[in-house]
Structure 1
Amino acid sequence: MPVHRSGSSHRRPRSYAALAGVFLTVAALLLTLPGTAGATPHGPAPEPTHPGLDWAGSQIAKHEGDAPGEAPPPSLASVEGVDVSSHNGNVPWQTLWNGGVRFAYVKATESTSYTNPYFAQQYNGSYNVGMIRGAYHFATPDTSSGAAQADYFADHGGGWSKDGRTLPGALDMEYNPYGPTCYGKTAAGLVAWMKDFFATYKARTGRDAVIYTSTSWWKQCTGNYTGFGAVNPLWLPRYGTSAGELPAGWDFHTIWQYTSSGTTVGDRNRFNGAYDRLQALANG
């Protein structure tokens, strides 16, 4: 008498279908959790969706607060500066120059998909009124490699020339505007990503990049790594009356972003040295 196995063969697909349904339900629930929407554990994260809202300090103010008010009066051993991005639009450079601003950093790029549409007006405009200027890149370490982003930056405004008035490019490392604070990476993974960026940028330009980062983010996301302080100048955001505690590895800051609510352009910076030292940084 023949043996009928149709019952077992029918049960097995139903079992697989049930398991698939469970997995789909779990995946849907995970996507509703804070910081997981759009996450791609087996590949890069999606490209930034609002890069015009991401600038040096945009996430610092959200996560660490913005204490309004001016820093102590500038001295002969400091130089006043600003940083700008597309959210500032066309910048009145002559007004800033007349107010004593002598250097500027301009956002050039983010990830490998965004360039600042106001970059020419901001980068060339600051130079044309006499300022020393530089460009910066807003890092998104979860979207592509450090090398890829360094190349994109160097190709879209982040280069350097020894003209005495161009600062080395800066890498903006701060809280992720799109998801997990540390971009879903371990401390070692983020450090490796930055090493990749810095090595590529130096190979392209001959300069060691400046790094923009806050002490709180650095402690949380790199484990307070000490290895960059001897090479990469520190641009530190802290809004208030002093630069305060520095990230591990740095004995002093090179630039201090001391407020995001200054006049004419909100983000105000102070170079930690006299004007001839700022010129020396530009000259390499």
Structure 2
Amino acid sequence: MDCVRASISPGPRGPRLAVTAALTGLLLALSTPAALPLPDPVTPERGSAFMGMGVLAHDGGEAGADDALAARTTQTQGVDVSSHQRDVDWPALWGGGARWAYAKATEGTYYTNPYFAQQYAGSYDTGMIRGAYHFATPDSTGGTAQADYFLAHGGGWSKDGKTLPGALDIEWNPYGDACYGKSPSAMVGWIRDFLSRYKARTGRDAVIYTATTWWTQCTGGYSGFGASNPLWIARYATTPGPLPAGWTSYTMWQYTATGTTVGDHDRFNGTQTQLGDFATG
């Protein structure tokens, strides 16, 4: 310390400033915690995906129900659920105005929703028209195999006026590359395989659930399904926005993930009578 005192005693200004700066740097180094490496993003467990998971992560927006939406008397309120909702309080949803529902049945060829029976049958018992959806993972198995798996685990359709056609949830990959490592042409081929198999086995065209930005990115803006497959557009805002190539209108719209009893709420683009007609086909 004698040398420090000597250097900061009255004398030439340069040495005093140099030592002061050195001491200040030492104190800052001792008081500032060492920078820690940021943890790697946690990859969700396979099977945990749900309708709109990619929309929340990539497409932003959380507008939800506003006065404009509430005034849409020509549209019919619905919900979609997965294992994250567990056993659903269907009477509460019915009381809140929901008249149709989709439950996640399957994902890939490796996962079935353990709550599917309660969700699928429970919505029906409450009086809703219900359907099942499949979360696509085009990087795991082919479209034909996944359609067969979906049909074997609740994804079928019957012309009873209470069953909606199966829906293919095709959106951002929650487990890796957004487009599942596929080129636009390969992605279109995968989707076509799924849809063709579903139509061949049920007689109905499956619904396609997607977001416009994902569709543009991962199919290259393919327009060939719009003439046959109903569109379920995903966009959390007060309007559905631009639609994917090939569609001039939407059949359903997932407009929010912040509902009360169940987060995901949807609109069928028609009256309840038209919803029944759509179920019948």
TM-score range relative to shorter protein = 0.7 to 0.9
Which SS does the other structure have where 1:230 is aligned? Answer: coil
- Aligned mates of 2:61, 2:86 — CA distance in 1: 22
1:108 aligns with 2:105: yes
What is residue 51 of structure 1 aligned with on the other side? 47
Which SS does the other structure have where 1:51 is aligned? Answer: coil
1:153: how far off? 0.1
One-letter amino acid of the structure 2 residue matched with residue 57 of structure 1? G
1:50: how far off? 2.9
Are the aligned partners of 1:106 and 1:134 in contact in 2 as well (CA < 8 Å)? Answer: yes
- Aligned mates of 1:191, 1:60 — CA distance in 2: 20
Q: Quick check: which has more Rg, 1 or 2? A: 2
TM-score (norm 2): 0.83
Identity %: 60
Hey, which bits of structure 1, 4+ residues long, moved more than 4 A?
none
Equivalent residues in 2 for 1:31-42, closer than 5 Å? none
1:69: how far off? 3.4
Which SS does the other structure have where 2:70 is aligned? Answer: coil
1:203: how far off? 1.2
1:62 aligns with 2:57: yes
- Aligned partner (choices 185, 190, 194) of residue 188 of structure 1: 185
Structure 2 unaligned regions, length at least 5: 1-39
Structure 1 unaligned regions, length at least 5: 1-33, 39-47
Are the aligned partners of 2:64 and 2:255 in contact in 1 as well (CA < 8 Å)? Answer: no
Once the two structures are superposed, residues 33-55 of structure 1 have per-residue CA deviations (whole angstroms, 9 ceiling, x without a partner) of x99xx9xxxxxxxxx94312x11
TM-score (norm 1): 0.82
- Aligned mates of 2:229, 2:179 — CA distance in 1: 20
- Aligned residue pairs, count: 240
What is residue 83 of structure 1 aligned with on the other side? 80
1:75: how far off? 2.8
Are the aligned partners of 1:66 and 1:260 in contact in 2 as well (CA < 8 Å)? Answer: no
One-letter amino acid of the structure 1 residue matched with residue 137 of structure 2? T
One-letter amino acid of the structure 2 residue matched with residue 173 of structure 1? I
What is residue 247 of structure 2 aligned with on the other side? 250
- Aligned mates of 1:209, 1:193 — CA distance in 2: 14
- Aligned mates of 1:248, 1:69 — CA distance in 2: 25
Equivalent residues in 2 for 1:117-196, closer than 5 Å? 117-196=114-193
CA RMSD for the aligned pairs?
1.7
Are the aligned partners of 1:77 and 1:272 in contact in 2 as well (CA < 8 Å)? Answer: yes
- Aligned mates of 1:150, 1:74 — CA distance in 2: 37
1:181: how far off? 0.6
